[in-house]
C-alpha cells in the first residue's frame, strides 16, 4: 500500500484516486468517507497531507532533533572516513544531507499551499526527496553490513562518467568546461523560475551532477597548469 501511495505522487493529482487510497488506509467507516463523491473545499489538500504522512515521508520530531543536535553521518557510518571508502559513497554523503533538508523544507511547504496544484507539487517534492534519501540510506547500510557496494544509486554511473573525463585531452576538457558552465546556468534559471514544479527534483539532481562534473574538469585542468 505504501508503494501505491508513493506511485500516486508520480502522476497527476486526482481526487477520486486519492480518496480511494485514503479509504483503503482508513476504512470505509471513516467520518470523511461521506465526502468521497461530494468534494469539499480543501479536501484534496488534506488528502495529500494524510497520504504523505502514511507513506512515511513526514519528518518526525525525533529525526528533526537529531539534525538539530548535529549528529554526523560519520558517526553512523564510520567507513566514510576510511581511505578505501568508495568515492561514490563519499559523494552520496553530501547528497544525503541535501535530500534530507529538501525533504524537511518541503514538509513545511505542505501547510503553506493555497490550492490543490501547489499542495500536490509540494507533496510530490517531499516524496521524491524522501525516496532519494532512502536510496542513499540503502547504499550506506548495505556497505556497512557487507563491505561492498550495492550499486543501485545513479551516482555509480555518474562516477564512471567522471573517470571518462580523466581520459580526455586538454582541448576537449576546456570545451566541455564552457558547455558545462552554460548548462549549469540554464538549469539554475529553470529551477528559480519554477514554471514546471513537477520537474524540480529532476532538475536539482541534474544540477548536482553537472556541478560535480565541472568540479572534476577544473581539478583535472589544474594539473596541466
In this structure, which long-range contacts are made by residues 68-77, counting pairs with CB atoms below 8 Å and at least 24 apart in sequence? 73/97, 73/140, 76/140, 77/140, 77/143, 77/144
Tens digit of pLDDT for each residue in 12-23?
Answer: 666 677 767 766
Distance CA 149, CA 141 (A): 10
- Read off the pLDDT of residues 168-182 as tens digits, 9 standing for 90 and up: 999 999 999 999 999
Q: Name the more confident of 154 and 48.
A: 154
Closest CA to 89 of 97, 99, 79: 79
pLDDT in tens, 30-66: 545 555 565 555 566 666 667 776 666 554 444 444 4
Mean pLDDT (whole number) for 174-197: 94
Q: Which one has a higher pLDDT value, 62 or 76?
A: 76
d(CA 1, CA 25): 8
Cell numbers given for 8: 500516486
Q: Does the structure show a pLDDT above 70 at 142?
A: yes
**Between residues 185 and 102, the one the model is more confident about:** 185
pLDDT at 97: 82
Per mean pLDDT, which range of 29-33, 47-51, 132-136, 160-164 is the poorest?
A: 29-33
pLDDT band at 132 (very low <50, low <70, confident <90, very high): confident
> pTM to 2 decimals?
0.55
What pLDDT shows up at residue 118? 76
Read off the C-alpha cell for 67.
539534525
Averaged pLDDT, 125-150: 87
What cell numbers appear for 213 in the block? Answer: 562534473
Which whole number is the average pLDDT over 161-190? 95
Amino acid at each position: 500500500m505504501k508503494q501505491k501511495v508513493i506511485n500516486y505522487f508520480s502522476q497527476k493529482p486526482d481526487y477520486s484516486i486519492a480518496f480511494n487510497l485514503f479509504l483503503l488506509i482508513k476504512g470505509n467507516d471513516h467520518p470523511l468517507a461521506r465526502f468521497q463523491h461530494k468534494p469539499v473545499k480543501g479536501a484534496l489538500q488534506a488528502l495529500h497531507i494524510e497520504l504523505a504522512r502514511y507513506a512515511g515521508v513526514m519528518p518526525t520530531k525525533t529525526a528533526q532533533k537529531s539534525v538539530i543536535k548535529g549528529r554526523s553521518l560519520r558517526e553512523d557510518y564510520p567507513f566514510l572516513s576510511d581511505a578505501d571508502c568508495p568515492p561514490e559513497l563519499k559523494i552520496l554523503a553530501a547528497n544525503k544531507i541535501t535530500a534530507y533538508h529538501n525533504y524537511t523544507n518541503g514538509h513545511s511547504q505542505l501547510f503553506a499551499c493555497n490550492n490543490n496544484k501547489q499542495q500536490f507539487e509540494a507533496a510530490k517534492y517531499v516524496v521524491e526527496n524522501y525516496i532519494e534519501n532512502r536510496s542513499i540510506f540503502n547504499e550506506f547500510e548495505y556497505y556497512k553490513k557487507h563491505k561492498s557496494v550495492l550499486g543501485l544509486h545513479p551516482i555509480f554511473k555518474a562516477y564512471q562518467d567522471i573517470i571518462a573525463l580523466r581520459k580526455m585531452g586538454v582541448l576537449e576538457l576546456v570545451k566541455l568546461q564552457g558547455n558545462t558552465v552554460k548548462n549549469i546556468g540554464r538549469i539554475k534559471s529553470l529551477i528559480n523560475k519554477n514554471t514546471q514544479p513537477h520537474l524540480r527534483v529532476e532538475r536539482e539532481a541534474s544540477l548536482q551532477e553537472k556541478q560535480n562534473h565541472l568540479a572534476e574538469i577544473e581539478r583535472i585542468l589544474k594539473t596541466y597548469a
